[in-house]
Amino acid sequence: MTTVVLLVVLAAVLAGTALGYAFLREALDLLASMVRAWRAEGGMGPLVVGGPFVLLFAAFLTGIFLALALGAAAAAATLGRAVLRWRGLDVRRREVVYLALLSSAVNVGVFLGLAWLEPVTTLPPALSGREVVLALAGFLGLVAIVASLVAGSILRSHPAPPAPTAPQDSPPA
pLDDT score at 21: 83
Q: What is the residue type of 131?
A: E
* Residue 160 confidence (pLDDT) above 60: no
Under the banding of pLDDT at 50, 70 and 90, the label for residue 12 is very high
* Residue 159 confidence (pLDDT) above 80: no
Under the banding of pLDDT at 50, 70 and 90, the label for residue 28 is confident
Query: Could you tell me if residue 161 is inside a domain?
Result: no
Its sign, for the CA torsion 91, 94, 98, 101, is positive
Q: Which residues of 75-102 are buried (b: 16+ CB within 10 A; e: fewer)?
A: ebbeebbeebeeeeeebeeebbeebbeb
Query: Could you tell me if residue 172 is inside a domain?
Result: no
Phi, psi at 158, each rounded to 5°: -110, 150
How far apart (Å, rounded) are the C-alpha atoms in residues 20 and 74? Answer: 15
Under the banding of pLDDT at 50, 70 and 90, the label for residue 53 is confident
By CB atoms closer than 10 A (0-12, 13-18, 19+), residue 53 is exposed
Query: Could you tell me if residue 168 is inside a domain?
Result: no
pLDDT score at 136: 84
User: Based on the structure, what is the number of domains in the chain?
Assistant: 1
pLDDT score at 45: 61
C-alpha torsion angle, residues 31, 36, 42, 45 (rounded to 10): 0
Query: Could you tell me if residue 68 is inside a domain?
Result: yes
Average pLDDT of the chain is: 81
* Residue 39 confidence (pLDDT) above 70: no
- Extended strands (E) in the chain: none
* Residue 54 confidence (pLDDT) above 70: yes
DSSP state of 126: G
Q: Domain range spanning residue 47?
A: 2-155
Query: Could you tell me if residue 162 is inside a domain?
Result: no
Please report, for residues 46, 59, 110, the alpha-carbon distance to residue 42 in angstroms, rounded to integers and kept in the order given. 8, 25, 39
pLDDT score at 163: 66
Query: Could you tell me if residue 11 is inside a domain?
Result: yes
DSSP state of 96: H
Lowest mean pLDDT of 46-50, 54-58, 80-84, name the range.
46-50
Phi, psi at 124, each rounded to 5°: -65, 150
* Residue 85 confidence (pLDDT) above 70: yes
Under the banding of pLDDT at 50, 70 and 90, the label for residue 120 is low
pLDDT score at 125: 64
CB 153 within 8 A of CB 62: no
Torsion-angle region of residue 42: left (phi > 0), alpha (psi -120 to 50) or beta? left
3-class secondary structure, 156: coil
Query: Could you tell me if residue 100 is inside a domain?
Result: yes
Query: Could you tell me if residue 169 is inside a domain?
Result: no
Residues 26-43, mean pLDDT to the nearest whole number: 74
